[in-house]
Amino acid sequence: MKQAAHGPAETGSGTSDLLASDRSAGSGETSAVRVPAQGRAVAPAPSTSGGDAAAARGEHTHSERPMPQAPPAAEPARPVVQRSSVRGQILQALRSALVTGELRPGEVYSAPALGERFGVSATPVREAMQQLALEGAVEVVPNRGFRVVERDARELSELAEVRALIEVPVLLRLARTVPAVRWAELRPLAEATVRAAASGCRVTYAEADRAFHRAVLGLAGNAQLVRIADDLHRRAQWPLGGAAVGHARTELMADAAQHVGLLDALIAGDAEGVRVRLGEHFGTTGS
């Protein structure tokens, strides 16, 4: 689908923002994880035993200015975080911050600083950041932390092309073989993307958008296809460096309307209509 440019968003503070991001997904409420602004990098202190390994993990702490703290009376009560799921919560929060642009392309973030912001140790943050590094969202900067990868319009275009090569042929085949009643079962997911678009919340829309595409491709009965396509879709939702954040509400609404139009054509058994709507959605001719 056509992708809009993303860019920096205003940052804030508080561990409660971390869990607020999880609560907002699917609710239509605009909320965002707040991540700390990073201080100017200075020359790292001499390494000690194990320092090289720490640098490789992005553990640096001594080159950052102390983070400002709110007065105790003004600091909100921190909700209890289940330790068994804290890594997953942090990973989800960081992914949401990528979508909103709060993790800014080109900026370096250290695990200890982010951990302090979220009210957890550096370990689950580091693990989550290492997962994002495997996904190509960030890269390790020795002795400093993790830099959010800067992407350009060409990379977005390439992702859209690969997604189309994978999804369009599958959907054209499914359009000929899946009965209308099965397509009709996906109506709530298509309508959920419309509600998410109307909310203007980029995180909520990103989740609803991917959920719809996963369900459509899931009818092919190929779990590997769904996994690969979803990973490409997630990457396509990350912001561009130096550009305005996210889709405008009107662009989100247009994208969601394409989901509804595509589903209508699938239910009606309109093969040509499916082809045309796929071309609109992925920015191709649909051939």
Per-residue pLDDT reduced to its tens digit, 221-278: 999 999 999 999 999 888 776 554 445 788 899 999 999 999 999 999 999 999 999 9
What is the H or E stretch that residue 281 is in?
helix 271-282
pLDDT of residue 31: 42
CA separation, residue 201 to residues 149, 181, 233 (Å): 23, 31, 17
pTM (global) more than 0.85 = no
**Angle between the N-to-C axes of helices 122-135 and 111-118, in degrees from 0 to 180, rounded to the nearest 10:** 120
CA distance 227 to 206: 16
CA separation, residue 259 to residues 61, 94, 117, 206, 215 (Å): 46, 27, 37, 13, 12
Is pLDDT of 29 > 80? no
What value does the mean pLDDT take over residues 86-98?
91
